[in-house]
Amino acid sequence: EAGVTQSPTHLIKTRGQQATLRCSPISGHTSVYWYQQALGLGLQFLLWYDEGEERNRGNFPPRFSGRQFPNYSSELNVNALELEDSALYLCASSLKYTDTQYFGPGTRLTVL
Amino acid sequence: KNQVEQSPQSLIILEGKNCTLQCNYTVSPFSNLRWYKQDTGRGPVSLTIMTFSENTKSNGRYTATLDADTKQSSLHITASQLSDSASYICVVISSGGYNKLIFGAGTRLAVHP
């Protein structure tokens, strides 16, 4: 069974640009979660989607947004990139919101 | 304020030794607590999930405990191996409608030969 996949693996952008990160959950999982992990810091919860709707949002500015598609894959968009947005962005999926989350390998975003 | 605090921040042990990682939380209402292992540069992998009524749960050489009264959890690693070198993250899930996940900052464990 395929795990959670994320693309791209690495992404390099400059300040002010927009970044789009993609995530495909494990087949059958309807919940998708996004996390930011800056270097040396813990995981910070960004967004949670379930059944196509945003269910919960972490303490991040509105320029962090996303969506979940009918096939439950998800996209994270970061507008007006800032240097401090450089981090590993992890996506996780679960069968239901109470179930174990399975993480993807992450997308490393570097903002120059 | 919902918080999860982990200690120690980092730990170095010799291969074959045991160690215990701590997690204290102030999350309410409480749904469950999870321990994850994160290898450098990779996504976290679930080790255990503990609900309110569970005191101890084992997964191989990993044993997690939960004291819901004192709001403390521990992760005990027995006979450590070099491959145990990783960050261990405690996550507490708050109930009440849609859940909220509160992450600890993690404990970075280094196992030396």
DSSP B72-112: EEEEEE-S--GGG-EEEEEEEEE-SSS-EEEE---EEEEEE
Contact B101 A4 (CB under 8 A): no
3-state helix, strand and coil shares in percent for chain A, rounded to the nearest 5? 5, 50, 45
Q: Find residues 22-51 of chain B whose CB sits inside 8 Å of chain A.
A: 31-32, 34, 41-46, 49
Q: Are strands A19-24 and A44-50 parallel, antiparallel or unpaired?
A: unpaired
Q: Nearest CA to CA, how far is B104 from chain A (Å)?
A: 7
Gap between the Cα atoms of A98 and A105, Å rounded: 22
A98 to B44: CB separation less than 8 angstroms, yes or no? no
Q: Is the pLDDT of residue B70 over 90?
A: yes
Do A3 and A27 form a contact (C-beta atoms < 8 A)? no
Contact state of B105 with A42 under an 8 Å Cβ cutoff: yes
Q: Which residue from B99, B100, B106 is facing A98, i.e. has the nearest CB?
A: B99
Q: Which residue of A has its CA nearest to B104?
A: A42
Tens digit of pLDDT for each residue in A26-80?
999 999 999 999 887 778 889 999 889 998 888 899 999 999 999 999 999 999 9
Contact B103 A41 (CB under 8 A): no
* pLDDT at residue B53, rounded to an integer: 87
CA dist A35 and B109 (Å) reads 22
> Most A CBs within 10 Å: which of B5, B46, B48, as the mutation test of the A interface?
B46
**pLDDT band per the 50, 70, 90 thresholds, residue B75:** very high
Chain A contact present for B101, CB below 8 A: yes
Under 8 Å between Cβ of A81 and A21: no
The Cα–Cα gap between B54 and B29 comes to 16
- Sorted by sequence, the CB contacts under 8 Å of residue A86 that are 6+ apart come out as A38, A39, A109, A110, A111
**More confidently predicted of A40 and B19:** B19
Q: What is the pLDDT of residue B97?
A: 54
| pLDDT at residue B79 greater than cutoff 90 | yes
Share of chain A above pLDDT 70, in %: 97
The answer to whether residues A55 and A97 touch, using CB atoms and an 8 Å cutoff, is yes
Substitution target from B59, B99, B108 for chain A, most A beta carbons within 10 A: B99
More confident of the two residues B41 and B56 = B56
Task: Report long-range pairs for B48-52 (Cβ below 8 Å, ≥24 apart).
Answer: B48/B75, B49/A100
Average pLDDT in chain A: 91
Contact status, residue A5 vs residue A24, Cβ threshold 8 Å: yes
Set of chain B residues whose Cβ sits within 8 Å of the Cβ of A90: 43-44
User: What pLDDT was estimated at residue B43?
Assistant: 82
CA distance A104 to A20: 16
Grade residue B10 by pLDDT with cuts at 50, 70 and 90: very high
Which pLDDT value is given to residue B99? 60
Could you give the C-alpha distances from B96 to A94, B33, B105, B110, in angstroms and in order? 19, 15, 24, 37
Among all residues of chain A, which has the CA nearest to that of B101? A45
